[in-house]
Structure 1
Amino acid sequence: MDLDLWWLLLLPAFFLLGWLAARVDMRAVLTQAKSVPAGFFRGLDALVDDKTDVAARALAEVARAQQSSLELPMTLGKLYRKRGENDRAIRLHQSMLDSSDLPAEHRDSVLFELARDFRKAGLVDRAEEILLKLLDGNMALNARRELLNIYQQDRDWSKAIDTARALRSDAHSFQHEVAQFHCELAQGELFRSNLEVARDLVDKALHANRKCVRANLLKGDIAFTEERYEEAIDAWQGIENQNYEYLSMAAERLFDAYEKLGKPAEGIALLRGYQKTFPQLDLTDLLYQKIATYEGEARALEAARESVYARPTLSGVYRLIEAQMTGMSPEGRMDAEVARAVLQKHALRLLMHRCKCCNFRSRAFFWHCPACGEWESFTPNRSETH
């Protein structure tokens, strides 16, 4: 009984102590909040509303009033850069570097932001010069990442390869990117007909990333240029084991190789097999043209109808209507022409390649997404999406 009585007496005391602690914490919070300039909250509120011009003015006032703060001018510089006011960002960061109050341990951080200002302003050489000096400091990792972006922008693939290898870690091997850089170099050598050099670069790309579809496409292109058609076919068919979606990019190449070998029927059979196995491949137009050439319009129409029934698309229906127009009456042909024109208009508007990472859409295919910078992320088969 005595023990129960003590607990009953202690419970109100615990509640009282908790209430007092909460009051003390709340007073501390209110005291700190009152010490923050009102301009800071105005700037924060403007940022929430995406009014970057108002935010920049408010934060600039606070930065002038509290010159001892380092974080606020750094944030203000980033805001200037985001708004495209690169000159103001450069002047701000340069004035910070010229200040005797800047602690030595923060100098590299300000230099890094200045390099980003120069890059955004198009002064890439000056940005690179600063970043190279930061490679031995505490901003080395960020500097290398920024340098990698610069080298990709400038298409300096050799430096990009060296930088990516220096960035390699357990979290990110950069082998995917290195393979693409080798492919870029190989593409240039192939264009200049330096086939031996191009082949060596393709081998390096596949060594870096055996799943690199682009490397197999180039490997086949090199073999085709050297009239080694069977080797080209093997390279292009290997894409099926890497990423079958890219077979649509190799389809016409494969048929041309079979045609060079005098085996167009085998080429058509292979492509029809791909279309049945992978209905999402964009092969309807190509197959219609090749079958019409070698097997006649009737067989081509049959193949087009089979493809459209398996996977209806605007472009497939367009081809199906076109294939049947020759047998129509004049009135029916006019009606079909109107339907075909409407289909073509909507197909051209909707058919897009799409980046799987950022959903950027484009009528042109890119190996390197212009929006997010990811490699080999574009869908090779155009999709009919809004």
Structure 2
Amino acid sequence: MQDFELWWLLIFPVFFGLGWLAARVDMREVLGQAKHVPASYFTGLQALVDDETDRAAAALAEVVRHQPRAAELQVALARLYRKRGEHDLAIRQLTRLLQDHADDLTPSQRDAARFELAQNFLRAGLVDRAEEILVKLGQGALAHEARKCLLEIYQQERNWPRAIELARELKSEDFSFQHELAQYHCELAQGALIKSDFDGARRHVADALAASRRSCRASLIAGDIHLAQGEVDEAIRAWQGIESQNPDYLSLAAERLLDAYERQGRAAEGVVLLRGYLRSYPQLELLDVLYPKIAALHGDAAALEFLRETVRGRPSLTGLGRLIEAQLPGLEPEQRVDADVARTLVQSHGKRLNVYRCKRCNFRSKVFFWHCPACGEWESFTPNRTETQ
């Protein structure tokens, strides 16, 4: 037993010696390779760190010129070109890589180059060429990313049936695409309603609600379908259902609800309903809809009292501007001039601040969108304007 242990004690120094020798050999190889890396490579890296993309692109392009087979570097440079908006340079470089060095590329390198090329085609507006590449990549290692880009293309083209099919393929535990699927079906329902295809519109609304029970847009369209077919009570119920889905979207149904109640000769009931909504969910849009309706039904004095109550409860420039305007007829001529100046300033400032905002990218617009034109997110716009900078 002692002889055996002594034998192993003699082996240990040999193992340490071999490890030291291997480390020395590896270090010499690394240092040798580092000597062959062009100085422009390090210049480009430093420029990237300093966020000087123009200098970085020029330096890395010089490296690529000396090492045209460095596929990963060429793809990285093309991505840098895309970031700078120089899509023509990126497309030219990647096309040359795929044509002149196709045999030298591994399958993963080839797919990465093609995916980057598709991205540049897409950003350059060459959608057909991007789609052709992405469809071919739909079965490889980049299949998931390729399908997400295809989904973006189908949204741009308003190819909603294909977008629905692809969103269902991409659906996973991490991302359900329920809002997207609901919106795609709502787009189809809206198109069918415009063509008076009520059966088709109803089917798409049902599919939208199956994808997302909280789809306020589906409820809005459902009410429009009922109203178009003379089913006023059903339309009112559909629009009232938005309160339980998301009360922020009640403002989109306000005008519809008042019109429906007026058709039934119950305009006063509609006003009472919306005044209740305004007390529970203060929104500038509800104020805009209610004020002229109250004035028409109950007179200017009642509308003025409504404005006072609303502005005192929740002050806003829009409400204040309307309140000043409502009091103008009862003022003396000199007072009216001063009040009119104040009204003009308040309303002008209010209009400048009154915007819809995307909750994801903070894009601001005077018009409400279901689909943000800046970041492409669905249902990210709140339908209620804000009065903040």
Same fold (TM over 0.5): yes
User: Which of these residues, 185, 188, 206, is aligned with residue 191 of structure 2?
Assistant: 188
Which ranges of structure 1 fall in alignment gaps of 5 or more residues?
1-19
Distance across 1 between alignment mates of 2:188 and 2:50: 45
Q: CA deviation at 1:36?
A: 4.6
Residue 382 of structure 2: SS of its match in structure 1?
A: coil
Structure 2 residue 159 is the aligned partner of structure 1 residue 169: no
Distance across 2 between alignment mates of 1:266 and 1:346: 34
Structure 2 residue 52 is the aligned partner of structure 1 residue 51: yes
Distance across 2 between alignment mates of 1:63 and 1:281: 58
Distance across 2 between alignment mates of 1:308 and 1:364: 24
User: Which of these residues, 301, 304, 311, is aligned with residue 301 of structure 1?
Assistant: 304
Distance across 2 between alignment mates of 1:54 and 1:354: 36
Distance across 1 between alignment mates of 2:158 and 2:338: 51
* Residue matched to 1:108: 111
Percentage identity across paired residues of the two chains: 58
Cα distance change of structure 1 residues 74 and 316 upon mapping to structure 2, 3 Å threshold = same
Aligned residue runs from structure 1 range 305-316, under 5 A: 305-316=308-319
Q: CA deviation at 1:35?
A: 5.9
Distance across 2 between alignment mates of 1:34 and 1:152: 50
**Residue type matched to 2:66 in 1?**
A
Q: CA deviation at 1:361?
A: 0.9
Question: Normalising by the residue count of structure 2, what TM-score does the alignment of the two structures yield?
Answer: 0.89
Instruction: Decide whether the 8 Å contact of 1:285 with 1:319 is kept in 2.
Output: no
Instruction: Decide whether the 8 Å contact of 1:247 with 1:281 is kept in 2.
Output: no
Residue 98 of structure 2: SS of its match in structure 1?
A: helix
Deviations 1:22-52 (CA, angstroms, capped at 9, x unpaired): xx9xx89x95876654323332333344432
Residue 138 of structure 2: SS of its match in structure 1?
A: coil
Residue 375 of structure 1: SS of its match in structure 2?
A: coil
**Residue type matched to 1:126 in 2?**
R
Aligned residue runs from structure 1 range 222-233, under 5 A: 222-233=225-236
Distance across 2 between alignment mates of 1:324 and 1:104: 75
* Residue matched to 1:61: 62
* Residue matched to 2:4: none
Moved more, 154-163 or 50-59: 50-59
Distance across 2 between alignment mates of 1:333 and 1:284: 24
Instruction: Decide whether the 8 Å contact of 2:261 with 2:269 is kept in 1.
Output: yes
Deviations 1:67-100 (CA, angstroms, capped at 9, x unpaired): 3422211111111122222221111111111213
User: Which of these residues, 140, 152, 155, is aligned with residue 152 of structure 1?
Assistant: 155
Structure 2 residue 41 is the aligned partner of structure 1 residue 40: yes
**Residue type matched to 1:243 in 2?**
N
Instruction: Decide whether the 8 Å contact of 1:279 with 1:310 is kept in 2.
Output: no
Aligned residue runs from structure 1 range 139-288, under 5 A: 139-280=142-283, 282-288=285-291
Q: What value does the CA root-mean-square deviation take over the aligned residues?
A: 2.1
Deviations 1:208-256 (CA, angstroms, capped at 9, x unpaired): 1111111001111111111211111111111111110000111111111
Distance across 1 between alignment mates of 2:75 and 2:333: 72
Distance across 2 between alignment mates of 1:74 and 1:231: 57
User: Which of these residues, 123, 127, 130, is aligned with residue 124 of structure 1?
Assistant: 127
Residue 302 of structure 2: SS of its match in structure 1?
A: helix
Residue 355 of structure 2: SS of its match in structure 1?
A: strand
Q: CA deviation at 1:132?
A: 1.0
Distance across 2 between alignment mates of 1:212 and 1:170: 20
Q: CA deviation at 1:162?
A: 0.6
Distance across 1 between alignment mates of 2:42 and 2:283: 52
Structure 2 residue 368 is the aligned partner of structure 1 residue 365: yes
* Residue matched to 2:7: none
Moved more, 191-200 or 204-213: 191-200
**Residue type matched to 1:38 in 2?**
A
Instruction: Decide whether the 8 Å contact of 1:301 with 1:320 is kept in 2.
Output: yes
Residue 122 of structure 1: SS of its match in structure 2?
A: coil
User: Which of these residues, 346, 352, 355, is aligned with residue 355 of structure 2?
Assistant: 352
Cα distance change of structure 1 residues 51 and 291 upon mapping to structure 2, 3 Å threshold = same
**Residue type matched to 1:323 in 2?**
A
Distance across 2 between alignment mates of 1:48 and 1:326: 65
Moved more, 335-344 or 273-282: 273-282
Aligned residue runs from structure 1 range 16-27, under 5 A: none
Which ranges of structure 2 fall in alignment gaps of 5 or more residues?
1-19
**Residue type matched to 1:149 in 2?**
E
Deviations 1:103-157 (CA, angstroms, capped at 9, x unpaired): 2332122111111121112111111111111112112111101100000111111
* Residue matched to 1:12: none
Question: Normalising by the residue count of structure 1, what TM-score does the alignment of the two structures yield?
Answer: 0.89
**Residue type matched to 1:62 in 2?**
V
Instruction: Decide whether the 8 Å contact of 2:182 with 2:209 is kept in 1.
Output: yes
Structure 2 residue 74 is the aligned partner of structure 1 residue 81: no
